[in-house]
Structure 1
Amino acid sequence: MVKPKKPIGTTAQNIDKKAAESAIFADSEGRIGLRIHAKPGAKKSCVVAIGESEIDVSIGAAPREGAANEELISYLMAALGLRKNELQFDKGAKSRSKVVLIETKRLTIDEVPLISATAQPELCDAYETVERKFNCGPRGYPLHFGLRNCLVFNNQTIIDKFTPKGREFVGCSTRCLVKSILNISEFSTSCAQVQEEAFKSHVDCYLNCDFCDVCKTEKLAFLKSYDWTDFLSFAALQQVFAIVRKCGVFGCFRVFDF
């Protein structure tokens, strides 16, 4: 059973007000703090979202006799490449809102968001949920485009083709697109509307996840990942042109600027 270690000093004295409200912060002693909202009882441990004030983490263990805490520590060790003695609970060991402190010289605060840059194929189940509601068929958006590409970009072999910055984009855009398709399914009345609205969401999700910067260094990874026949449809081309307008034709789309 993982027991909270006695904090070194008082957290409130080490963190300024702004940092105290952040999901990821650094204290005056150089430790990294993670403010976590734990969701035990999940099928698999993974980061669901990194918000401004908390990191939502699904935990693949029940909240009984410290099992969820053990699994959370094990997950953070694997995701961030840390040793057990480099992690400690500062508070919240017995609640769902927790603060975990990281004391190591092998990790910087800028690298922590990459915790979400691992394959999360379970997120792709959302497309099957939408398909069951609308029955668009094997050539419809939920299965043919949404699910298929979601699984491609949540294959660890594909993710490993990207740099850390690129992997962060993949995780961010996946979560954004999944959230969007679920929202779209709430108000749509037909498969055609699902497809139209879903393609529109690609533009916002890509831009909000910094595609214009990421594409400058990730061209080869994208080229090796996409099925380019997907871009033969009018709806997909509209999506591409919208992104090009925002990023600039000579920004990241110069073919020979690898």
Structure 2
Amino acid sequence: SIVVYAIFHINFASANDYSICTTYTDLDAAAPCGENGYALNFGYPICRAFIDNEWKFTTDGQAFLNCVRSCLTDFIRTDIITKNVTDCTAINNDAFSSHLPCYTRCNFCDVVLRNILPFALTYQISNFLSVNAIEQVAAVAIQCLSNLSNCLLG
């Protein structure tokens, strides 16, 4: 059964469509911030990792992933690339600023608990080492706790 799983997983993984992730390589081409910039250091690898692991998520979790990928990449295209933002610090700040609205719009708080293991297996500790990343995690956590308290208190 392990062999069947391995073959299925290899075949499934090789069929993944990473085309939406090219938004991040397009961003780096338009504003070359390199390996330490948001696009190549955070956006592109995370985009690919979530596509690779999407099969581990519930149906609602997969819907969240599709929604948030579109939301984040639309923001990159319309608010950074189209507006010709080229300062690497501004790109990093602007891109991270889109996370909370996108996560909220795509109902992250409704799916996180049922998908905690796939999220934990997809993210790397290194994804959370920047101030912007820590601030966004805190903001999302506060939003989810606020939603929970509103639900409990009615």
TM-score (norm 1): 0.49
Structure 2: stretches of 5+ with no match in the other structure: 1-14, 149-154
**In structure 2, what residue type is equivalent to 1:178?**
T
Report sequence identity in percent: 34
Distance in 2 separating the partners of 1:145 and 1:174: 13
Contact 1:119 1:159 in 2 (8 A): no
Equivalent-residue separation in structure 2 for 1:238 and 1:209 (angstroms)? 19
Give the number of the structure whose residues are more often helix, by fraction.
2
Residue 66 of structure 2 corresponds to residue 171 of structure 1: yes
1:230 aligns to what? Answer: 127
Pick from 136, 146, 158 the counterpart of residue 43 of structure 2.
Answer: 146
User: Are positions 1:202 and 2:96 aligned together?
Assistant: no
Higher Cα Rg, which structure = 1
The residue correspondences of 1:54-203 to structure 2 (distance < 5 A) are 119-155=16-52, 158-183=53-78, 184-187=80-83, 188-203=85-100
Unpaired segments ≥5 residues, structure 1? 1-117, 252-258
Q: Relative contact order: is structure 1 or structure 2 higher (C-alpha 8 Å, sep ≥ 6)?
A: 2
Aligned mates of 1:141, 1:170 — CA distance in 2: 19
Deviations 1:132-183 (A, max 9, x none): 111101111111101111111112xx11110111111111111111111112
AA aligned opposite 1:182: R
CA 1:173–1:250: 2 relative to 1, 3 Å: closer
CA shift at 1:119, angstroms?
A: 4.5
Q: What CA RMSD, in Å, does the superposition of the two structures yield over aligned residues?
A: 1.7
Q: In the superposition, relative to structure 1, how do residues 119 and 202 fare at CA in structure 2: closer, same or farther (>3 Å)?
A: farther
Equivalent pairs counted in the alignment come to: 132
Deviation at 1:250, TM superposition (A): 9.5
Task: Give distance in 1, aligned partners of 2:63 and 2:89.
Answer: 31
TM-score for both structures, normalised by structure 2:
0.80
CA distance in 2, matches of 1:171, 1:120: 12
Match of 2:118 in 1: 221
